[in-house]
Amino acid sequence: MVEGTKKRNKIFDYFREKEELYAGGVAWCPGCTLELTARFVPKVLGKDMVLVGCPGCSAPVFYGQNVGTWHRMTYYSCLMTGVPSSATGLARYYKKIGKDATIVCFTGDGCAADIGFQPLSGAAERNENIIYICYDNEGYMNTGYQRSSTTPLGAWTSTTPVGIAGKGKPTPSKNMPLIMAMHGAVYVATATLSHLEDFAKKLLKAKEKKDEGFAYIHVFAPCLMGWRIEPDSSIEVCRAAVRTNYFPLWEAENGKFRLTHEVASPKPVTELTKLMRKFSHLKEDGLAELQKVADERYALIKSLCDASK
């Protein structure tokens, strides 16, 4: 349920009325937020699209495991270096032959922010008619919880371990959604699974604007295994990320920034960090550093929203 609503939210209609495009049991971890994202996107956007993806947590289902894929969608898989460029090739060809097509890139943060960043930046600059959805689980969760450039400051990962000398990741995360907005993309938004109605609106807006050009949606998608979260609390983690302003929900439409869910009295980030064990080694000073990053980033996005008014 989306918070604050009494009557049944219309978000449930997406699940009730739309055709199920996935096999019933798929190779994702129980409680995985990526699974919810992957199932939700075609429910909202419809199946007449081409999904473009690469190796990562989404791959076992989209690629299938020898026997065939575990879905009934049109899917193009490529290497982690080639997602937005492959999507460009598809979009340009369909444009050439006059075929209406929705091209949706669907990758994790490792592809979007690290190894596949160059083609992402290039496609955004060329204003290609594609929608890029990044499910950000703040690291290389599929290969065993290694750090990526969206891993937050101080977080434990298998390549930023904690010990006598190790203190978790020494640098803050790359601010991907803002970087993409600075490309001047037609539409950029953040979304997460605790606020599905907000997410749905953003997906629809991205589709509506696809003929104008490039759209990017950055989805906060906690990883139960890598972040060390209890399996029943993944949505709670999403909600805490929004309530603490660690992950503010905003959109930038043609350069106009707007908070889509303003938090009246934000909680401290410790309300988020206490829900997982990847920050459990952090002492007061480490948590204060993390709070500082969150505060600064929120102030920045707030000022951009204020300036857009």
Partner 1 sequence: MAKAQKGQVRVITGNAAAAYGAMLCRPDVATSYPITPMSEVAEQLSAFRADGLVDTEMVEVEGENSAMNVVTAASMAGGRVFTATSSWGLVFMYDAVQQASGFRAPVVMAIANRETPGILAVSGGQQDIISMRDTGWIQIIVEDCQEILDSVIMAFRLAEDFDIQLPVMVNYDGFYLSYLATAVEIPEREDADQFLAPLKQQPERPRLVPGEPLSCGTHGIEIGFMELRYKHCAALERATAKLDEIDKEFGEIFGRSYGGQIEEYRTEDAEIVLVTSGSATGTARTVVDAKRAEGIKVGLVKLRLFRPFPRKRLAEALKGKKAIGVIDRSVGFGWNCGPMYMEIRALTPEIGIIPMLSYIDGLANLDITIPHIERVIDEVSAAAQGKPYQEVTWIPMEE
Q: Which stretch binds partner 1 (CB under 8 A): 84-92, 146-154, 182-190, 244-252?
A: 84-92
Q: Which stretch binds partner 1 (CB under 8 A): 81-89, 209-217, 250-258, 273-281?
A: 81-89
Task: Give least dist CB 35 to partner 1, A.
Answer: 18
Q: Closer to partner 1 at the Cβ: 50 or 242? A: 50
Residue in 23, 20, 34, 18 with CA at minimum distance from that of residue 71: 23
Query: Tell me, what DSSP letter sits at residue 94?
Result: H
Residue in 243, 125, 260 with CA at minimum distance from that of residue 189: 260
Is residue 78 involved in binding partner 1 (CB under 8 A)?
A: yes
Residue in 298, 129, 149, 299 with CA at minimum distance from that of residue 216: 129
Q: Closer to partner 1 at the Cβ: 130 or 235? A: 130
Is residue 184 involved in binding partner 1 (CB under 8 A)?
A: no
Strands 74-77 and 102-108: what pairing? Answer: unpaired
Torsion of CA 217, 82, 152, 248, to 10 degrees: -10
Is residue 99 involved in binding partner 1 (CB under 8 A)?
A: yes
Task: Give least dist CB 46 to partner 1, A.
Answer: 8
Q: Which stretch binds partner 1 (CB under 8 A): 4-12, 86-94, 177-185, 261-269?
A: 86-94
The CA distances from residue 266 to 87, 119, 193, in Å, are: 38, 36, 18
Query: Tell me, what DSSP letter sits at residue 154?
Result: T
Contact mark string toward partner 1, 10..49, x via CB under 8 A: -------------------------------------xxx
